[in-house]
Amino acid sequence: MVPGLTNGTLYDCTVTTLYAAGGSVPSAPAAVTPMATVPAAPTGVTATAAPTQASLAFTAPADTGGSPITGYQASCTPQGGGTAVTATGAASPIVVAGLTNGTTYDCTVAAVNAVGTGAASAPVAVTPQAAPVAAVTAVPTLWQWGLMLLGLAAAGLGARRLRRG
C-alpha cells in the first residue's frame, strides 16, 4: 500500500526488493490509477422543524472520495421504528417534507458521488409541530344582540327607547 496517492490520478509504479546486501533492480513501470471511493459523511448537521417538514443544514465533507460530490440524500426515520422519509438536494439545506406533526424523527444526511452514497452523518432529532391556530373572537349576530337587549329591557337595565340603527 502506498499512502498519499490521489484517486483518479495516473501513476507509474515500480517494485524494488530490499535485502541485507542491498536491493534489486527496479521492475518495469506499471501504470496504475487509484480508484475513487464514496465520500465521507457530512458534519455539523442541524434540523429546524416546521409543520410536516424539517430543514436539514450541514457542512459538506472534506473527503469527497476522489470524485466530485454530485448531491446529498437526507433521511428522517421515526424514533421507535417506521418508514423513512427521504429527500435529495444539491447543497445545504435540504427540506424533508411529508413528516407527521408531533412525531420525533432521527434525521441524517449522506453525500453522493459517481461511486455511490457515502456514510450517513450522525443523527439529529427533530419533531415537526402544527402551526399555532389563531384565536377567534366570537362576534354576536344581530339576532343575538336583539335577545341581549330584550333581556336587559326585561330586567329594567336597558334603555327606555330601542332604536333600530
Cell numbers representing residue 83 in the block: 418508514
Same domain for 65 and 21: no
My answer on whether 88 and 113 are in the same domain is: yes
| Structural domain span for residue 49 | 43-126
Counted domains in the chain: 2
Each residue's pLDDT tens digit, 62-108? 999 989 999 999 999 999 999 999 999 999 999 999 999 999 999 99
88 & 22 share domain: no
Per-residue pLDDT, averaged over 30-59, amounts to 95
Instruction: Give the pTM.
Output: 0.67
14 shares its domain with 52: no
Rounded to whole angstroms, how far apart are CA atoms 111 and 7?
17
Residue 25 domain-assigned? yes
**Does residue 61 sit within a domain?**
yes
The secondary element (H helix, E strand) that includes residue 69 is strand 69-78
**99 and 52 both lie in a single domain:** yes
* pLDDT digit string, tens, across residues 112-150: 999 999 999 999 999 999 877 776 677 778 777 777 767
* Domain-embedded: residue 19: yes
What value, to the nearest 5°, has the Cα angle with vertex 57 and ends 51 and 59?
A: 170
84 contacts: CB under 8 Å, gap ≥ 6: 75, 76, 77
Asked if 73 and 56 sit in the same domain, the reply is yes
